[in-house]
Amino acid sequence: MMQHSIYDTCKTCSVCPRGVGALEIAADNLPLSCPHPDAPLWARHPKIYLEVLSSGNAVCPYCNTHYVFHGTPPKAH
């Protein structure tokens, strides 16, 4: 399966607009921004922050990378 981010866990899903799977993220990946600083130069677009906790997933409007939150949400301050 094609990896499309630095995150190593790419799972197939029916929601992913790119058809290559959703990237699982955890609390230590928050705040979630796209693209990641380690993304290759060809994959860069303006940096944006994505809200993933309210619905459990988010899709980047620039590159259509689909992120899915798994695990325990961080505690509020």
16-71 pLDDT, tens digit each:
555 557 889 999 999 999 997 777 888 789 999 999 999 999 999 998 889 999 99
3-state secondary structure 19-61: CCCEEEECHHHCCEEECCCCCCHHHCCCCEEECCCCCCEEECC
Residue 30, in any domain of the structure: yes
Residue 76, in any domain of the structure: no
Residue 75 burial by CB count (10 A; 0-12/13-18/19+): exposed, middle or buried? exposed
Predicted TM-score (pTM) of the model is 0.70
pLDDT score, position 15: 52
Residue 4, in any domain of the structure: no
Check residue 16 and report its DSSP letter.
-
- Count how many domains the chain has: 1
Residue 33, in any domain of the structure: yes
Residue 43, in any domain of the structure: yes
Pairwise CA distance, residues 69 & 46, whole Å: 22
Residue 61, in any domain of the structure: yes
Q: Which domain holds residue 39?
A: 10-69
pLDDT score, position 32: 94
pLDDT score, position 49: 96
